[in-house]
Amino acid sequence: MYICRMPAVHLEVEKKYAADDAFELPSLTELLLHADGGASETGGSPVAEGEAVRQQLVATYFDTVDLRLAAAGLTLRRRKGGEDAGWHLKVPAAAGARAEVRLPLGRAARTVPEPLRRMVRVHSGGAPLRPVAEISTDRTVRRLVDATGQVLAEVADDRVTARRLVTAGTADAAGAPMSWREIEVELVGGAAELLDAVDAQLQERGLSEAADASKLAHVLDGARATPGPDRKSKKKRGPTAKAEAGAVVLAHIREQVQQIRAHDLPVRLDAPDSIHKMRVATRRLRSALTTFKPLFDAEVARSLRSELKWLAAELGAARDAEVMRDRVAATVGADDGDAAAHVVGELDRSYREAHDHVLAELDGERYHRLVSSLDALVAGPPFTARAADRAGRVLPRLVHRSYTVVRRLVEEAEAHPAGEEREELLHDARKAAKAARYAGESVSRVFGDDAARFAEAMEAVQEALGEHQDSVLIRARLRTLALSASSVEAAFLYGRLHALEEARADRFQDHFADAWNAAGRKSLHRWTR
């Protein structure tokens, strides 16, 4: 069995500021004193500034020669000096924060540790990771602490010297040394309002946020041999109904491939909702290759759909376990005592096992072959002659076909009495409604509100059917767990949760009837004729 050995992960919430040599950084207590008295930002507790600490940091940054990690917003470095010396992989996280994966320094200075190579492989494509920049920092750290000694925030005053080790896609020429100063404020144990208060005071004293999110980005931007794009140039207009149908669909497919890449690392780090988002991108891709099948070479599309179905299933097992754990955890109360803790703990173990299995698959060759195949699809789409027809002539009819599949399944389900066969038909109808929704969303850039309203109606049908399907799966799992429960109390709690799910299922029919009636309005479908 694959066992996940998770590296240490640290969440960074920080802001960086460009500063010149003349800037005098005031004391941290002075900054807070001028921020509405500082009481609200520190919860009313007295604060003090710890003794300044000076550090000498030397970091070597690693990337492919063509800087694929940097293009994905990742930074990978080996840093000596300071309190967190080691290998660091920085990954964008929610709300401007970054997750930092940390490993010990080890002996090898020029070879990236295998766990980090695996984590970035979907972005590096397996290309060698070599030193691309060296950055030395003379840092003075000052800490704001509360009365208990807890560090609320750190302010680092950095004098930086750096040079780029690769230039214009080669590894045989280093750039000229660069020097600059920056101020970095990182939230440690304080509230977000504290960071906002310090930010306002620093900007009032003339500082502005740094143009680059990291020191590496500053080095790479400063060493560019060619100017960047003209920011004043007009934005290109989106495609119209006169565009080629293949071009419209390909733009949607390209976005989903990017989403799979973007969520690879968050899934590995078990970031909230990451499995769900990666699974959705996978399903959208498969749905596009199904709905718009006439536009693509049949064999290529069939193979990709098969592999995308496999990946969605692997992610789905973990997602279902996650949904069940969270749903049960939100249902049980304090009165359920030890039994609740046991039940939630059991469901959490199931999720952890499923997540470990996902990580094993993400490290496997099958997954990376799929990613390579998707790259090839985007780079050289295997279009048929029909893809060259106008979007307005081809795409609406294909979207309409997706709706007729939903209608057929719903009518067939309604003709069956309650039972296993009807449940299976409703499950298929849910999947078809999701495909119809994705079809409408994928062409909304061309067909605007008409396509968006159609997609919203299909989403309402999908969600109503989803409520029912989730309840069916959860009830089945609860029955299994109740039969193997280790105590009478746990078995009783499983039974009570099962009854609650039955009550939820009873409410499903009304929700679905309303959604299905709304989805059948003729005005929603005129644009697809």
Which pairs from 156-160 meet CB under 8 Å and 24+ separation? 156/183, 156/184, 156/185, 156/186, 157/19, 157/25, 157/181, 157/183, 158/182, 158/183, 158/184, 160/135, 160/136, 160/215, 160/218
Q: How many CB atoms lie within 10 A of CB 508?
A: 19
pLDDT digits (tens, 9 = 90+) for 23-35: 999 888 887 776 5
Residue 35's pLDDT is what?
58
Contact 140, 52 (CB under 8 A): yes
Q: What are the sequence ranges of the domains in the chain?
A: 8-222, 243-389, 393-522
Residue 33 makes CB contacts below 8 A (sequence gap 6+) with none
Positions in the chain whose pLDDT score sits under 50: 1-3, 37, 171-172, 225-234
**8-222 CATH:** 2.40.320.10
Whether domain 243-389 has CATH 1.40.20.10: the reply is: yes
Measured CA to CA, the distance from residue 439 to residue 114 in angstroms comes to 40
Task: Please give the pLDDT value at position 448.
Answer: 95
Measured CA angle at 354 (ends 349, 359), to 5 deg: 125
Question: What pLDDT, on a 0 to 100 scale, did the predictor assign at position 226?
Answer: 40
